[in-house]
Amino acid sequence: MAADLGPRAMFVAGGTDLFPKLKRRQFEIDTLIGLDFLSREIHNGSAQWVVGAGVTLAAASNDPHLKESVAGYAEAAGLVSSPPLRNAGTVGGNLCVDTRCNYYDMTYEWRKAAGFCMKKDGDICLVAPSSPRCWAVSSSDTAPMAIALDGVVGLTGPEGERELPVSVLYRDDGIDYMAKQPSEVVTSVTLAADPRTRTAYVKLRRRGSIDFPIAGAAVAIQLDGDEVVRCRIVLSAVASHPLEATAAEEFLKGKRLTDETIRETADIAAKPARPLDNADLAHFWRKRMVRVVVEDALVRASTRTASSKVKLLG
């Protein structure tokens, strides 16, 4: 159906992001393709968790096995929006959620009065008028954590089934932000569950009860004693895609985890983050807060005990 109807149709899972956008006429389509058939199961194979794309965020955040084995992922799912939206919103929908911008996430009337932008109905960027591209912000909470956990999505489309690392599921483009084909459905996300890995997700937002992230850090570290043998740090809400802080990861590898190395790592991680004036609160303050969320996430992950067991659920 999706391939036949092209841009006239969209998939809908929980509808928590899509329905408000349809009301604001950010998408103009004539068909919704329901994804109710997607798996709502969480199960594990050898050293990995397979989370069905139809699993709700509430279920993922409360699952005792995910909480123990990949705590940062359960944490990220539990910090998305608010409890009613987590009861309906899905893991697959969260990975595919639209990029955000203060000039775009507005009613049709507001956008018309301000002047449309290139993401919908217009031809310039209102945040960076001389820019040829859209800088809308990747605002998924679970995508950075899935990348930090070497996540892989299952995709099904007209050409069949395939797998894609979550790290290459996104493009650095506020409009065309997903690298999958529009007619491909995300059916699952598989997360590495190495018992030595400690994880944490820290999110900054105005209201803890509901808001999207304005900065966030997903961290997965493996320690040998107090030496870091592996480290992934992925930032949310500071670019049009989840931003991996590769220089900081390299810096921390092989070092002892001390207050000083954590602070230095956080400083390096914050460097590539370039928030623009298109999300909540002042962008120069958001930039300064990136190092704070990274530091916080590293401390949380390091003080968390490594997951002791990965149970076989079948």
Ligand X SMILES: Cc1cc2nc3c(=O)[nH]c(=O)nc-3n(C[C@H](O)[C@H](O)[C@H](O)COP(=O)(O)OP(=O)(O)OC[C@H]3O[C@@H](n4cnc5c(N)ncnc54)[C@H](O)[C@@H]3O)c2cc1C
- Using the contact rule CB under 6 A, the part of the chain among 16-24, 27-35, 96-104, 215-223 near ligand SF4 is 96-104
**Going by DSSP bridges, is the β-strand pair 243-244/42-45 parallel, antiparallel, or unpaired?**
unpaired
Q: CA 180 from chain center: how many Å?
A: 15
Residue type at 79 in one-letter notation: L
Which residue from 103, 170, 177, 212 is in contact with ligand SF4, where contact means CB under 6 A? 103
Query: Of the candidates 181, 140, 143, which has an alpha carbon nearest to the alpha carbon of residue 162?
Result: 181
Is 214 one of the binding residues for ligand SF4 (CB under 6 A)? Answer: no
**Contacted entry of ligand SF4, ligand X, none for residue 240, CB cut-off 5 to 8 Å set by kind:** none
**Minimal CB distance residue for ligand X:** 93
Minimum distance, C-beta of residue 41 to ligand X, in the bound complex (Å): 14
Q: Is the dihedral of CA 161, 57, 223, 196 positive or negative?
A: negative
Residue 232, CA distances (Å) to 18, 44, 247, 281, 303 in order: 31, 22, 10, 27, 16
Residue 222, CA distances (Å) to 64, 76, 77, 269, 313 in order: 21, 19, 22, 18, 24
**Contacted entry of ligand X, ligand SF4, none for residue 201, CB cut-off 5 to 8 Å set by kind:** none
Query: Of the candidates 38, 313, 30, 29, which has an alpha carbon nearest to the alpha carbon of residue 193?
Result: 313
Which residue from 125, 169, 185, 189 is in contact with ligand SF4, where contact means CB under 6 A? 125
Is 136 one of the binding residues for ligand SF4 (CB under 6 A)? Answer: yes
Q: Where are the beta strands (DSSP E) in 17-78?
A: 31-34, 42-45, 48-52
Minimum distance, C-beta of residue 227 to ligand X, in the bound complex (Å): 33
Minimum distance, C-beta of residue 293 to ligand SF4, in the bound complex (Å): 22
Is 77 one of the binding residues for ligand SF4 (CB under 6 A)? Answer: no
Between residues 135 and 251, which has the closer beta carbon with respect to ligand SF4?
135
Q: Pick out residues in 6-45 that bind ligand SF4 (CB under 6 A).
A: none
Take residue 187 and report the two structure tokens written for it.
Answer: 């059916």
Is 174 one of the binding residues for ligand SF4 (CB under 6 A)? Answer: yes
Between residues 90 and 167, which has the closer beta carbon with respect to ligand X?
90
Count H helices, E strands: the chain? Answer: 12, 11
Is 248 one of the binding residues for ligand SF4 (CB under 6 A)? Answer: no
Minimum distance, C-beta of residue 306 to ligand X, in the bound complex (Å): 27
Enumerate binding residues for ligand SF4 (CB under 6 A).
101, 103-104, 117-119, 125-127, 134-136, 174, 278
